[in-house]
A = this chain, B = another copy of it.
Amino acid sequence: MRATIMYGPGDVRVEHVPDSTIIEPTDALVVVTHAAICGSDLWPYRGYGQFRPAGNRMGHEFIGIVEAVGSEVRTLKRGDFVAAPFAVSDGTCPFCQEGLHTSCVQGKFWDNIDLEGGQAEAVRVPLADGTLYRLPVRPDTALLPSLLTLTDVMATGHHAAVTARVGPGKIAAVVGDGAVGLCGVIAARRLGAEQVILMGRQPKRLELGKAFGATDIVTERGEEAIEKVRQLTGGYGAHAVLECVGDELAMQTAVNIARPGGAIGRVGVPHYAGIPPLFPTFFKNLTISGGPAPSRAYFDVLIPDVLEGRIEPGRVFDFVGGIESVPEGYRAMDERRAIKAMIEF
Interface residue from B261, B290, B292 paired with A103 (Cβ < 8 Å)? B261
Whether B163 and A98, one on each chain, are in contact in the complex, defined by CB atoms closer than 8 angstroms, is no
Question: A203 near B: Cβ within 8 Å?
Answer: no
Question: A289 near B: Cβ within 8 Å?
Answer: yes
Question: A286 near B: Cβ within 8 Å?
Answer: yes
Which residue of chain B has its CB nearest to the CB of A260?
A: B103
**Which A287-303 residues have C-beta < 8 A from chain B?**
287-292
CB distance from A262 to the nearest CB of B (A): 10
A98-B261 contact in complex given A274-B274, A275-B275, A277-B274, C-beta closer than 8 Å? yes
Question: A175 near B: Cβ within 8 Å?
Answer: no
Whether B275 and A288, one on each chain, are in contact in the complex, defined by CB atoms closer than 8 angstroms, is yes
Which chain B positions have C-beta within 8 A of A142?
none
Question: A48 near B: Cβ within 8 Å?
Answer: no
Q: Interface digits, A93-128 against B, CB 8 Å rule (1 contact, 0 not)?
A: 011001010110000000000000000000000000
Whether B292 and A261, one on each chain, are in contact in the complex, defined by CB atoms closer than 8 angstroms, is no
Which chain B positions have C-beta within 8 A of A285?
100, 102-103, 163, 289-292
Q: Interface digits, A252-285 against B, CB 8 Å rule (1 contact, 0 not)?
A: 0000000011010010001011111110011111
Whether B260 and A282, one on each chain, are in contact in the complex, defined by CB atoms closer than 8 angstroms, is no
A100-B291 contact in complex given A270-B282, A274-B278, A275-B281, C-beta closer than 8 Å? no
Whether B292 and A266, one on each chain, are in contact in the complex, defined by CB atoms closer than 8 angstroms, is no
A278-B287 contact in complex given A95-B261, A260-B103, A261-B100, C-beta closer than 8 Å? no
Which residue of chain B has its CB nearest to the CB of A277?
A: B274
Q: Which of A163, A272, A274 has the most CB of B within 10 A?
A: A274
Which chain B positions have C-beta within 8 A of A103?
260-261, 284-285
Which chain B positions have C-beta within 8 A of A260?
95, 100, 103
Which chain B positions have C-beta within 8 A of A287?
163, 287-289
Which chain B positions have C-beta within 8 A of A94?
236
CB distance from A63 to the nearest CB of B (A): 25
- In angstroms, Cα B278 to Cα A273, docked, is 7
- In angstroms, Cα B275 to Cα A94, docked, is 27
**Which A214-266 residues have C-beta < 8 A from chain B?**
236, 260-261, 263, 266
- In angstroms, Cα B278 to Cα A227, docked, is 28
Whether A288 and B291, one on each chain, are in contact in the complex, defined by CB atoms closer than 8 angstroms, is no
Which chain B positions have C-beta within 8 A of A290?
282, 285
CB distance from A292 to the nearest CB of B (A): 6
- In angstroms, Cα B260 to Cα A242, docked, is 20
Interface residue from B236, B274, B282, B284 paired with A266 (Cβ < 8 Å)? B282
Which residue of chain B has its CB nearest to the CB of A165?
A: B287
Which chain B positions have C-beta within 8 A of A100?
260-261, 285
Whether B288 and A289, one on each chain, are in contact in the complex, defined by CB atoms closer than 8 angstroms, is yes
CB distance from A294 to the nearest CB of B (A): 8
- In angstroms, Cα B165 to Cα A289, docked, is 13
Give 13 A-B contacts (CB < 8 Å), ordered by A residue: A103-B284, A163-B285, A163-B287, A263-B289, A270-B278, A274-B274, A274-B275, A274-B278, A281-B291, A282-B292, A283-B291, A285-B289, A289-B289
